[in-house]
Structure 1
Amino acid sequence: MSEAVAAIIPHNADEDWKLPSRGIVGMACLILAEASIFIIFVVAYIFYLGKSITGPTPHEVLTLPILTSICLLSSSATVHFAVSALHAGKQSMCSLWLALTVLLGGIFLAGTAQEWYHLIYHDGLTIRTNLFGTTFYSLVGLHASHVIVGLFMLALALVFSLRGDLTSRHTERLEVLSLYWHFVDAVWVIVFLVVYVLGR
């Protein structure tokens, strides 16, 4: 019986089973925990949608943030190219792609800040105005805080890259960071659809 199993399942004695990367496993666990938090905020936003007694309503004040969304989603590609460049030992290209990622993320944050300024000072929508204001700033603010954390870490990686301290042996660490950034971008797709498309 054991010979039959051995014949079906080939085994290479030279291959050692490797534990998965601690960094990737740790980031996967963090992403799962953060995803559960975002799910709670998204469900709360949907539950309270249309239940505000006073205005303004989403339809009255929200516009589609298309340009900033394109910038943020494009940054997933640039951070991927940065990881690929570092893996190939091309440090200067890695620095360039990291700089583009930070720039695109910065444009997104600047657009979010501009939107909030307009909502607060022009439309009078604050976190205390109504249920819409409370859930909007909570959900979009939660995402923006994750963008800030990701941008800070990417900016640090860029500084290390420009100094020459980020080499191909650090590829796995940059890949772990890129997973976080991909998660932030993926969450924005959900937030965009729920808040700016379905919610309007």
Structure 2
Amino acid sequence: MSKLRCDISISLDGYVAGPEQSEQDPLGVGGEELHDWVVPLAAFREGHDKEGGEVNASTPVMEEAQANIGASIMGRNMFGPIGGGAWNDTWTGWWGDNPPYHHDVYVVTHHPRKPVEMAGGTTYHFVTEGIEAALGQAKRSAGGKDVKLWGGGQIIGEYLAAGLLDELELHVVPRLLGGGSRIFDANVQGIELEQVRAVEAPGVTHLKYRVTRSGS
């Protein structure tokens, strides 16, 4: 059965992006540092059409996160541009003409827009009917594979609070951002998580959880 999975880098004080996000600095002040552990990995570089890279304890975690994904979901805040609002049809995300997804990506938004086809098999679909509608469309597109929830923090919290997220892996980075975008707030009170594993690696600790429905 298709699962909704999420893995995301997070600071020790619970932020997945820093304060003062902007078009020039989409992850906010200090937010880029949350990804210092993954960018050098060969498993990451391969997915971005780059050669070389490191192999360490994070490698199997990264490989597992990329495996068996048939479609993706993200929020408008992640797709951009910062500030939202009505669409400028020239905006096609942060990832250039050949995004790293290579499948259908469902963007949850309040503003309708026609699908946007990109190179490499990525097509962005814009869903205005809410998170459940986006998940239903993504699962149909995934054809039995899993669906990956990318972010940002607000939409991850919404899926978690709604009891729709099956697995959550936090890549905990020893940084304190002091503000920015969070996943966890009062809306997730009562959700129960079962720890699957913990992996220590250079610059990061990977904590994987299975979300139990009894807390929702």
Shorter-chain TM-score category?
A: under 0.3
| TM-score w.r.t. length of structure 2 | 0.26
Which has a greater percent of helix? 1
Q: Which has the higher strand share?
A: 2
TM-score (norm 1): 0.28
User: Which protein shows a greater Rg?
Assistant: 1
